[in-house]
Structure formats: C-alpha cells, structure tokens
C-alpha cells in the first residue's frame, strides 16, 4: 500500500532536513494521489537533476530522470507537467552533495 502524497512528501522533507539539506514544497498537489517531481540541486557544483515519480510493473514506486539538461530545461519540463497535471507536487532540495533523499528505486542510480 502506498502512502498518501502529502505524507510521503513530508517524510522526504524530514529526511533531507535531518541530513542538513534544505527541502521545500514549491507546488502542493492533491494530498491523496498527486504525482511528485523532485528537483535536486547540488549547491557545490551548481547543477540540478530532476526525478519524476513512476510505477514499475510490480506496482512499486520508482523514480526516473525524465529529462537531463540545464536548470532552465528542467524548469521548463516542470512547467509543462504542471499544465498537464493540476494535482502535481513539486519538491526542491538544495544540498551540497546534490542528494535526492529518495528511498525507493531510482533508475540510473
């Protein structure tokens, strides 16, 4: 059974905070079933990565990097997704090491 989106996002923000990172909800979506996008910003290298929630064939949550590129390209992708999905959550994490703090499987990690 999957957690509601608001509980899951709250846990992600707490994990990041415990490790000394700054995590912020940039856009709050549907509390029960909103899809989540996580933007992990590496403050040391000034680079960003984007992770989008997906579900594997087994029904488990996993994370993919739907687009790679400059921060502007990542932000443009997020804006397009906001237009498609009014229930979308967007969480931004700023960390000196660029960690995403996702505990589920991450494709390409």
Residues in the chain, how many?
109
CATH 3.40.1530.20 fits 5-98, yes or no: yes
- Among candidate residues 33, 35, 32, 20, the one with its CA nearest the CA of residue 93: 20
Is it the case that residue 1 has pLDDT exceeding 60? Answer: no
User: Which pair of structure tokens corresponds to residue 109?
Assistant: 């990690």
Query: Which residues, other chains included, contact 8 with Cβ-Cβ below 8 Å and sequence gap of 6+?
Result: 2, 36
Q: Give the residue-averaged pLDDT of 69-74.
A: 94
Domain boundaries, the chain: 5-98
Query: In the prediction, which pLDDT does 20 show?
Result: 97
Average pLDDT over residues 6-15: 96
pLDDT, residue 18, reads 97
């Amino acid at each position: 059974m999957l957690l509601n989106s608001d509980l899951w996002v709250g846990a992600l923000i707490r994990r990041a905070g415990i490790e000394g990172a700054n995590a912020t909800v940039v856009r709050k979506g549907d509390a029960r079933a909103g899809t989540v996008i996580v933007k992990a910003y590496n403050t040391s290298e000034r680079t960003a990565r984007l992770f989008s929630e997906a579900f594997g064939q087994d029904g488990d949550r996993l994370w993919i990097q739907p687009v790679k590129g400059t921060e502007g390209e990542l932000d443009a992708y997020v804006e397009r997704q906001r237009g498609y999905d009014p229930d979308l959550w967007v969480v931004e994490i700023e960390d000196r090491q660029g960690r995403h703090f996702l505990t589920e499987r991450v494709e390409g990690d």
